Amino acid sequence: MQTEFTPLLSLTGGILIGVSAVILMWLNGRIAGMTGILAGILPPFESDWAWRAAFTAGAIASPLIWIALGNRIEFAIPVSTIELVIGGLIVGVGVTYGGGCTSGHGVCGMARLSKRSIAATITFMIATFITVFIIRHVLGQS
Amino acid sequence: MKELTALLAGLIFGLGIALSGMANPAKVINFFDVFGTFDPSLLVVMGSALVTTFIGYRIVFKSQSKPVFEPSFSLPTKSTIDASLIGGSIAFGIGWGISGFCPGGAIPALGFGGVGSFAFVGAMLVGLIIGRELKHGNVFANPKLESKKS
């Protein structure tokens, strides 16, 4: 499935992701990492549960507000539901062991020049690349 | 107040993710498919998010000794690159490559991504709990608390 290169939208979106991370650090002193935020929402509920729920609610709400204002968000899933479920399970286990994902390690941790985050980001980018290569070009699905 | 500011940060994050294409599995997988239907958009996303955060963090850490609404910055203290970090990141990459969703991409997609995004997020939450059980021998293990201790 072909998708169009969207430099301006992706630049705008990337800057917004960065602005969000900076606001959360500036005001709340927290890393805007989705892994940590989701882990903190799951039981046991500690006292810091509420801000994580608020961040998550905001992240779900704003694309809907954007659509309600008459805009479109490009979206397509090129894989089967089984692949989504298997992928989801592996991602959940992986980010728990790895202590973060694209947002926590890839953006916030790299911005802090954390060695762990740089190692994690290089590792998962290579692993994703190899996985996609095997699925699309060795097993021949697309 | 810190809930309101987290909500604000979440709103900006979700819109950024949705506009950037990180919540679009077709686009994400195409970024990694360099020898197929390559789409370089995600390089722009990650680059601009990283540069913005890098500059913003520096300004925050230089101008403030503590965040506005909390007594101190909560920063990870671990510095060792261990098997758990690398193994977990490899697994995360495999799952990201299979599905096209990462956690930060999937959550904003819940609102507009239909059943598929729910299937992924549901499975991912189960995976988070299984991961705790495997890593800590306890489904209620809290990695946040652990990382503060170490």
Question: In this predicted complex, what is the ipTM?
Answer: 0.96
Label residue B145 exposed, middle or buried (CB < 10 Å: 0-12, 13-18, 19+). exposed
pLDDT of residue B133: 87
Residue B147 has pLDDT above 60, yes or no: no
Nearest CA-CA distance, residue B13 and chain A, Å: 5
pTM of the predicted model, to two decimals?
0.94
Rounded to the nearest integer, the mean pLDDT of chain B is 93
Nearest of B87, B71, B25, B44 to residue A132 by alpha carbon: B25
Whole-number pLDDT of residue A102: 97
Q: Under an 8 A CB cutoff, do A60 and B108 touch? A: yes
Below-70 pLDDT ranges, chain A: 141-142
Amino acid letter at B98?
A: I
Sign of the CA dihedral running A26, A29, A30, A31: positive
Tens-place pLDDT, residues B7-63: 999 999 999 999 999 999 999 999 999 999 999 999 999 999 999 999 999 999 999
Min CA distance, B109 vs chain A (Å)? 7
Query: What are the φ and ψ backbone dihedral angles of A3, each rounded to 5 degrees?
Result: -125, 150
A91 touches chain B (CB under 8 A): yes
Residue B148 in this model has a pLDDT that exceeds 90: no
Q: Is the pLDDT of residue B143 over 80?
A: no
Q: CB B79: neighbour CB atoms within 10 A?
A: 9
- By C-alpha distance, the chain B residue nearest A100 is B89
Instruction: Find the helix packing angle between B114-136 and B83-99, rounded to 10°.
Output: 160
> Do B45 and A95 make contact, defined as CB atoms within 8 angstroms?
no
* Nearest residue in B to A51, CA atom: B3
Q: Say what percent of chain B tops pLDDT 70.
A: 92
pLDDT above 90: percentage of residues in chain B? 85
Nearest CA in chain B to A7: B41
Q: What is the mean pLDDT of residues B107-131?
A: 97
